Structure 1
Amino acid sequence: MGHLVLLLLGVEYLRKRARGLAIVGWIFLIAGVVIFIDALDGVIHFPLKFFAALLVLEGLATLMIAKSGVGGQRVLRYTKGIMVVAAGALVLAGQHHGHFVLSMIFGVLFLLDGLMQCSAAYVVRYERWRYVFASGVAEILLAIFFFQPYPTYYVGTLPYALGLFLAFSGLKLLALAYRVRRLDSNPALDENPRPDFMPTRGSDAPQTEFDGPPLESERALTVHVWTPSGSAKTKTRNYPVLDRYIAAVDINGVVSTGHAAMESPEGVYISLYPAQEIDHSPEQFGTLLRATPDNNVPGVFQPDYATESKAWCPSTMQVRIRNYDAAKLQAFWDEYRKTTTYNLTHRNCSSSVSNGLEAALDGVVGRLHGSEAGWRVLLRLLLTPELWVAGQIRKRALTMAWTPGLTLDYARALSMLADPRPFGWWKVSQRALRQMASLRAGWRKQDREAVARQSGDASSQSAQ
């Protein structure tokens, strides 16, 4: 997630806080190593019960706001919430079986993720695939560590996981601090401290939160997605996950991968397509997955959405974003369109849109808050669930390939970060407090009515 934090907050914002990031990184790294080593001797000094209770509360809070997500966001939120609650509950159970089950869960997750990374890296062969393959092997070794009982017979599972999380988080913060010190400044933050389009709340203070996506009348960047099943020429077979994120297969066995495009009000339209249609049988499709030069084919950029939708069909889904940098997007597009090469996994329509979207969102959160951006902005960004969602989607896409389904979910998550919504946890707590106040008001009314009835009955009895 370090890349997304740098992307959204911008170089200047993070450079001013590079020393603080480095200090926090060292604290996390040292704490993680200490917690991990402490768990190795079988005598656990870490407050397991307290931390497990925090996990349960955090997981329940995630589940409470999970329904506010869309598509893959909702699935990832529910998955994260259920896993965190289960982990905390197993530790609170306080039995050997609970620690054993938790250790098996961590082991299976590391094993599956490692195998997925290794297999995807070996098949696709994208740039730096050997590094990702080695990362997958490391995850498999961690899975073996969680599977075997030595040295604590599974009691140290949670401290192990927490120690690894803190240590790797610390390393990422240190890498981020080191990186921002050496990057050039972000011109968008220097020349345009606040977006020109930003509305106000009836005062000089610009609006920094939005209740929902942009209206049709608002100026916004639009990501268009044609889903694989929605863009197929004939009826497709029912493969729910494959249809959503990879490709759809019609009744004739023809594979359709869908499409993604992006347009801006300034006239930029990013839509890369192969010059000749790539619809192959499943047997032929497998040979195209490698991101190697021999799979490069001539591509063509579509002129605009109106032309493309008229020649094909309207996009299935749209994601609109208010807060973006038109100059950064134009600079990216001027350079990117010089090459028309198309590669199914390495340089396709979805990767083009995702790269363009990241260029358009460079530094927009830091620019949104301007000179008022402090540590609170960074903390809020780190606590926003969509950052975790976007990070997971980006990791999967880079280790496999960008697809229209992944681009759709990525754009949705980034739209929630670029156009911040009222903080999810705050909205939930406010809703709960309002419900409690309403219940209390109802109970008071019932009490008053009961007292009034009793007074009336007493008066009637006295009159008799």
Structure 2
Amino acid sequence: MMRLTMILLGVDFLRSHWRGLRRFGWITLIAGIVIFIDALDGSLFFPIEPFACLLLFEGAATLMVAHSGMGGQRILRYVKGSVFSAAALLILAGQHDGDFVLAMIFGMLFLFDGALQIASAVVVRYRRWRPALWGGIIEIALAIFFFQPWPSHYSGTVPYCLGLGLAFAGWNMFILANRVKRAAANPGLKGAVYMEEADVPDVVEWDGPPADDEKALTVHVWTPAGSAPSETIPRPVISRYIAAVDRNGVISTGHAALESPGGIYISLYPAELIDQSPDEFARLLRATPENNVPGRFQPDYATESAKWCPSTRKVRIRNYSEERLKAFWESYRQNESYNLTYRNCSSSVARALEAALEGSVGRLWHKRGFWMAMGKLMSTPELWVALQIRKRAQTMAWTPGLVLDYARALSMLADPRPTGWFNTTSRALKKMLQRRVAWEKGKSGEETAED
């Protein structure tokens, strides 16, 4: 979370508030430790019920607006809303069975995520795979802690989770404060150069995405199913995020590219077709230097789409920095190597997108104060979506499907709509009412026709 927060708010904006960040980090860390220790003896002083009510409200609000998301956004919203609501109801039930079920749920989540992280680290061997491996081991240890009844016989499950969450959040905020204190450039963006922004938007929210004739950064995505040469075999998750197979057995992995109004076009291909036979596939998954092959950058979208086909999805963002993107591109284009998992078309677009959006939220909200900007960022549902997508992509590999969902989430953060829970819920209810009115008109029209 801290890395993405650092990117969106910007180093310069955060640096002037590093003391407040560090103090808040210490408070959160100490509160998390106290809550965790309080739960060890099974006698709780922390009020769980008010927390459960907040959790239930958050889960219900997420479910109400989940349908407004697109693709993976919608799925993650439904998952988050369902988990939060179920957890809140089990807490409010106040029985041993509810505590036991919660312990098993949290244990399974930690076990699954830890096992997936360990497997990804061992197979892919990305740059920081060793810390990720230890992180996965710690998650499995936490899963075992939740599975066994000692020391509180499951009654401490919720405060354990809350305490751990607060402690980790506080520690990360403390690290963020120390980083921005001494950082001259954003360490989350290798190769990007920090510079002052001359153009600050006059508005902080927009009613919708940019119009077709409006100046905006464009992320082009050729989805695996949409770019396949013929009809594909239905495999929802695999076809969406990994690869699609058509009726003739032809595999399509899709593609991603980024285009700016300033003439920058980032689209990386391997210079020669990579052998993706089963015998070689496991070796190619490793993000190690021996798997680097020569690559080539496409000149522009018109040329690429003419040789292949138009992109099947587009995400457009108006609040970005052409200067930051140019600085990133000047550095990134010096290396034309291609790696199937570490440096492919999708990872190139993801890194370029983060470079272009560095400081975008800070530019919008700096006049209203630091904590207003932080609160707005943290309360936007798409931040949670973007965090989950980024974590999975960095521990495995960026794919066109993940880039599409990531760009959609970031577009809601950089070009914010009125997305507070109240406003989002109001828009959702308004949309439901419009559908109801349309349905009633259609029904009355059918009755008139029958008469």
Q: What is the TM-score when the length of structure 2 is the normalising length? A: 0.90
Shift of 1:418: 0.4
**Which residue in the other structure is 2:210 paired with?**
214
**Which residue in the other structure is 1:453 paired with?**
none
Q: Distance in 1 between matches of 2:226 and 2:214?
A: 27
**Which residue in the other structure is 2:407 paired with?**
411
Shift of 1:13: 1.3
Deviations 1:269-290 (A, max 9, x none): 0000011233634554333211
Shift of 1:367: 1.6
Contact 1:288-1:344 at 8 Å conserved across structures: yes
Where do 5+ consecutive residues of structure 2 fail to align? Answer: 187-191, 432-451
Shift of 1:50: 1.8
Q: Distance in 2 between matches of 1:44 and 1:171?
A: 24
**Which residue in the other structure is 1:123 paired with?**
123
Contact 1:41-1:152 at 8 Å conserved across structures: yes
Q: Distance in 2 between matches of 1:89 and 1:358?
A: 38
Per the alignment, do residues 360 and 190 of structure 1 end up closer, same or farther by CA in structure 2, a change over 3 Å counting? closer
**Which residue in the other structure is 1:96 paired with?**
96
Shift of 1:431: 5.6
Per the alignment, do residues 283 and 429 of structure 1 end up closer, same or farther by CA in structure 2, a change over 3 Å counting? same
Deviations 1:190-227 (A, max 9, x none): 743543xx4xxxxxxx2110111100010000000011
Mapping of residues 189-338 of structure 1, within 5 Å = 191-195=196-200, 198=201, 206-278=202-274, 280-338=276-334
Shift of 1:428: 4.1
**Which residue in the other structure is 1:161 paired with?**
161
Secondary structure of 1:212's partner? coil
**Which residue in the other structure is 1:25 paired with?**
25
Deviations 1:219-278 (A, max 9, x none): 000000011122223433222111111122334444322110000000000000011233
**Which residue in the other structure is 1:384 paired with?**
380
Q: Does 1:394 align with 2:390?
A: yes
Contact 2:126-2:288 at 8 Å conserved across structures: yes
Deviations 1:358-383 (A, max 9, x none): 11011111122344443111111011
Q: Distance in 1 between matches of 2:233 and 2:283?
A: 22
Mapping of residues 58-137 of structure 1, within 5 Å = 58-137=58-137
Structure whose alpha-carbon radius of gyration is higher: 1
Per the alignment, do residues 191 and 284 of structure 1 end up closer, same or farther by CA in structure 2, a change over 3 Å counting? closer
Q: Distance in 2 between matches of 1:434 and 1:81?
A: 20
Secondary structure of 2:296's partner? strand
Q: Distance in 1 between matches of 2:168 and 2:343?
A: 30
Deviations 1:294-323 (A, max 9, x none): 221111100000000000011111000000
Letter in 2 for 1:162: L
Q: Distance in 1 between matches of 2:356 and 2:195?
A: 16
**Which residue in the other structure is 2:445 paired with?**
none
**Which residue in the other structure is 2:346 paired with?**
350
My pick for the range that moved more, 179-188 or 155-164, is 179-188
**Which residue in the other structure is 2:441 paired with?**
none
Contact 1:254-1:281 at 8 Å conserved across structures: no
Contact 2:17-2:370 at 8 Å conserved across structures: no
Q: Distance in 1 between matches of 2:9 and 2:16?
A: 11
Letter in 2 for 1:326: E
Q: Distance in 2 between matches of 1:125 and 1:157?
A: 34
**Which residue in the other structure is 2:439 paired with?**
none
Q: Distance in 2 between matches of 1:380 and 1:54?
A: 18
Q: How many residues are treated as equivalent by the alignment?
A: 426
**Which residue in the other structure is 1:173 paired with?**
173
Per the alignment, do residues 278 and 252 of structure 1 end up closer, same or farther by CA in structure 2, a change over 3 Å counting? farther
Q: Distance in 2 between matches of 1:264 and 1:303?
A: 13
Q: Distance in 2 between matches of 1:191 and 1:285?
A: 44
Per the alignment, do residues 421 and 432 of structure 1 end up closer, same or farther by CA in structure 2, a change over 3 Å counting? closer
Deviations 1:385-420 (A, max 9, x none): 111111111111110011111111110000000001
Q: Distance in 2 between matches of 1:428 and 1:364?
A: 22
Where do 5+ consecutive residues of structure 1 fail to align? Answer: 199-205, 436-464
Secondary structure of 2:220's partner? strand
Deviations 1:31-82 (A, max 9, x none): 1000000100111112122211211111111111112211111111111110
Q: Does 1:359 align with 2:364?
A: no
Contact 2:65-2:425 at 8 Å conserved across structures: no
Question: RMSD across aligned C-alpha pairs, in angstroms?
Answer: 2.0
Contact 2:68-2:428 at 8 Å conserved across structures: no
Letter in 1 for 2:359: G
Q: Distance in 2 between matches of 1:193 and 1:147?
A: 54
Contact 2:61-2:425 at 8 Å conserved across structures: no
Q: Distance in 2 between matches of 1:279 and 1:67?
A: 40
My pick for the range that moved more, 340-349 or 363-372, is 363-372
Contact 1:10-1:366 at 8 Å conserved across structures: yes
Contact 2:13-2:366 at 8 Å conserved across structures: no
Contact 2:65-2:428 at 8 Å conserved across structures: no
